[in-house]
Amino acid sequence: MRRRFLTALAGSALLIAALLPGAASGASPKVDSGPKLFTKAGIYIVQMRELPAIAYDGKTAGYAATKPAKGHKIDPAAGAVVSYAGHLVSRHEAKIRAAGGKKVYDYTTSFNGFAARLTAAEANKLAKDKDVTSIVPDEVRTLDTSSTPAFLGLSDPGGLWSQLGGVGRAGEDIIIGDIDSGIWPEALSFSDRVGKNPLGTGLAYKKPVGWHGTCQTGEQWDKHDCNNKLIGARYYNASQGGNAGIDTDKPWEFNSPRDYNGHGTHTASTAGGNSGVQATGLAASFGKISGMAPRARIAMYKALWSTQDAATASGSTSDLMAAIDQAVEDGVDVINYSISGTSTNFLDPVEVSFLYAANAGIFVSESAGNSGPAASTVAHPGPWTTTVAAGTHNRTGEGSVTLGNGVTYQGASVANAVGPAPLIDSTAAGVNGANPTNLALCFSTGTNGGTPVLDPVKVAGKIVVCDRGVNGRTDKSLAVQEAGGVGMILLNTAANGIFADFHFVPTVHVDVPFRAAIKAYAATTGATATINKATIVFNAPAPFTAAFSSRGPLLAAGGDLLKPDVIAPGQDILAAVAPPGNHGQDFSLYSGTSMSAPHVAGVAALLMQLHPSWSPMAIKSALMTSATDVLDGPNTTPSVIFSQGAGHIKPNSAADPGLVYDSNINDWLAFLCGTTNGVTPATCAALAGAGYSFDPSDFNGASIAIGDLAGVQTIKRKVTNVGGAGATYTAQTTGLAGMNVVVSPSTINLAPGASATFTVTFTRTTATLGAYVGGQLTWNGGGHAVRSPMVIRPVALAAPAQVSGTGGPISYPVKFGYDGPFTATARGLIPAASATGSVSTDPDGTFNPVLGPETARFDVVVPAGTTYARFSLFNSSTTPATSDLDLYVYRGTTLVGVSGSGTSDEEVNLLNPTAATYTVWVHGFATANPSTFTLWNWVLGSAAVGNMTVTAPATATTGATGTINLAFSGLAPATKYLGSVVYGGSANLPNPTIVRVDTP
């Protein structure tokens, strides 16, 4: 398969090189390097200045260019590639020799750098090296269909499968690389043998052109476990101690590409599994399943390692980076990445690797995250990838439970009928001494290292009420079965989705509105219940956004980029799994954005096959502009747009989108110039000279987002006609109440392959300041409706949320959205108060606000008149710095803030908090038994202290920009200060800009 590689600025090779970061030879955009001073030993990812092989342009003396020619993949065996990669590795080794440390991985293809075990001193020495762009500590990342091909229209007459020659050709020669938890090679979804191939076409799989990968042997895996369908498999565990470390820490796992958890098998089966595979076991009644691109080839890169109960799997950034780098080198066409990631950092190492992968013509599909329905939870912000939310589809299991009082409650279920039988709440069915939290959650044997909590004497023959949360939903029904129960009612504890899982006893999953009534009845004497036989339907209203699906506004770029990009099926998805982590089953229903991302990866493979000259961004645009709406509400409602992005994918329409919004590495670098400090000034200057805009709202994507429209703003876009005929398109806008929208020109006439630039000017009229408005821009013409979502937030003043420094002057711009007087005044600065403590690891990982070895409590008085309170932990003030501590803040018994990342960098902020004594809890999630820490807090009032001077324009003019200048005096050394700049002169001004100053 030949694929199109993105081009940079056309017409000038010299200018292309100049637009890449660094000196004449070019260099990589740097990742966010985090703290300037490292304080802990551990694994670090070190990015070097020179370009990776996939982008190297030949500017280093003695080394020929290795960037593939247009339409070709990189060949890792080519002499120039071997030579240049060797050069990069030798440079890595030289840095290790000079600084010390032990190398874990080299990255040379999609990222130039290495992972190494370093002391704090070694990391700090490398950070000062002129050839090192940045250093970031290793992080832990976690894993974030029988009817979906028909639901998506792939199998329709004239659908995308038909356009590619039928199901027996759909995806032919396209290679999908899956970064995940491994794969179960015996699954028929990955068979390549005629007669045993469920495809039934008689067409044997052949090795695709441009494949350079291998089948890595290991525990219960040899080269014969790969074939001409599953063409490659590798595994990565160096940051976990290698095979010996896995043997010690995870002896149940396979030191090989073999999947224990089931997640990787499920995503691979969904994206590119064979067609016509008969489900078995509990799933047998669902019939046959198919992947989206059934003739695609699969390459698995295992970098996620499972817990013993298979409730989750996780991996380190350094292992994941090695997997991505190898996948690009091996020659994959599409990457599926159903793994958690950053919500704020465009230059996270994974995102940088994907930038170069996309530039090499590789389509990357990433999961949006499972932290919904809360706003601003979407992950993977890079505009060069496709971020996918999760929706429902039209197949569902509808069930119900009828209580002994005659009331029936509806829920999700695939259960056979059981009952009437005695009903008991799990909280009344525990063994002596059972942990009350674990009892409510119905923990099973071994779940999260726990022991059975349900008493067989109390449970035998009964239907049990269990709460959702913490342990797996099916683990709860396993606990009921182990205790002799005959059924389960699973209750949500908060508004969320309900799921028709394959349970061990007949189960109905009921949402939170019915919770209180069911629990109250279960507590009555002689309570009984009947779980009614479920019905599998294929006409359920769909799609809706799954409640768990993460959504915007995006935290990165200040709301000037819309994520997620699209939505795809992600709830109750049936696919192949690995039996060890799925109680012996070969198929199971999984839910998550992990399930929606491989739908898009598989559909992208089909589009790549149909249109081999399209770039990944053209494919992304086609998926976005042809999408349809979820059923959550009008497509002009901001919350709907933030949940669905451009909408639910419609593959058959994406095959012929009419117009596309394309972009390349220069567009991405210009975007980074406007959002990060990760691109060199020389590169940004060259881009500016070439006419590129640094306003992230001007990025040439198939959506429009402005997070801080101050009065009026004009954005620019460029579209290309990818249709087979010339056409005239006319612009139409809907929504955006209270805004005046002008598209210029409003009509464009494009020959095949031609492009046109247009602008959209947004002027606020009556729209509420500080609140988003939503709408759609559609270009109609040539039989196409090319639709882009728009989300705009008008503001009286556009100002940064926080600025930081070390005691020197700080200047920052603001933009006005009104006419009139303007003031900017200081609050603070105030030094932090601090307190120290120590905590040990909580055995079950569940926080309870009770004092014990795993918790530390601090009371902080927040007086009347407080404008801002902040509570912080830092890795740098935690020993060891590798500890994972979490922060919980209560006002009385009300939880008002929580911060629980995978490190000890935690922060809770309270704006204009109620006067009270607040209780701050530090919880030991993973410690050195114990770990010591310092808790920092600031309680900021409204007064200026005299150590910060603010100067600002006295008058605001709509659309004009002003500069705020801050100067400091009398600050003590080695002190953490906090203050703010408060704005006046008009109503609806933004919250004060927080000022953080850490003096050296």
Give the catalytic positions in this structure: 180, 263, 594
Tokens of 113: 């750098």
CA–CA separation, 364 and 387 (whole Å)? 9
Smallest CA-to-CA distance from 790 within 654, 672, 650, 635 is with 635
Smallest CA-to-CA distance from 876 within 314, 103, 137 is with 137
Supply the DSSP symbol for 895: E
Q: How many CB atoms lie within 10 A of CB 796?
A: 24
Q: List helix spans (H) across 368-462.
A: 436-440, 456-459
Query: What Cα–Cα distance (Å) separates residue 873 from each residue in 294, 878, 900, 906, 923?
Result: 49, 8, 11, 5, 11
Q: Can you count the helices (H) and strands (E) in the chain?
A: 19, 53
CA–CA separation, 435 and 603 (whole Å)? 47
Helix axes 665-675, 349-359, angle to 10 degrees: 150
CA–CA separation, 853 and 583 (whole Å)? 35
| Strand positions, DSSP E, 214-290 | 230-235, 277-278, 288-289
Asked whether the beta carbons of 370 and 378 are under 8 A apart, the reply is no
Peptide bond into 990 cis (omega under 30): no
Query: What Cα–Cα distance (Å) separates residue 512 from each residue in 332, 402, 468, 903?
Result: 44, 16, 10, 32
Smallest CA-to-CA distance from 74 within 325, 247, 302 is with 325
Supply the DSSP symbol for 521: H
Tokens 């349970």 sit on residue: 503
CA dihedral sign of residues 876, 879, 884, 890? negative
Asked whether the beta carbons of 597 and 388 are under 8 A apart, the reply is yes
- Determine the 3-state secondary structure of 229 from DSSP: coil
Sort strands 573-576 and 566-569 into parallel, antiparallel or unpaired: unpaired
Amino acid at 333: D
Query: What Cα–Cα distance (Å) separates residue 720 from each residue in 526, 700, 730, 771?
Result: 70, 11, 14, 33
Supply the DSSP symbol for 449: G
Tokens of 117: 């075990």
CA–CA separation, 48 and 52 (whole Å)? 9
In which element (H, E) is residue 422 found? strand 418-425
Supply the DSSP symbol for 353: H
Smallest CA-to-CA distance from 995 within 982, 861, 558, 986 is with 982
Supply the DSSP symbol for 539: -
Smallest CA-to-CA distance from 219 within 182, 264, 269 is with 182
CA 823 vs. chain centroid, Å, equals 39
Task: Enumerate residues 6+ apart whose C-beta is below 8 A from 264.
Answer: 178, 180, 181, 182, 183, 300, 302, 304, 578
Burial of 606 (0-12, 13-18, 19+ CB in 10 A): buried
Residue 389 phi/psi, 5° resolution?
A: -85, 170
Amino acid at 409: Y
Smallest CA-to-CA distance from 502 within 563, 587, 401, 409 is with 587
CA 665 vs. chain centroid, Å, equals 21
967 beta partners: 949
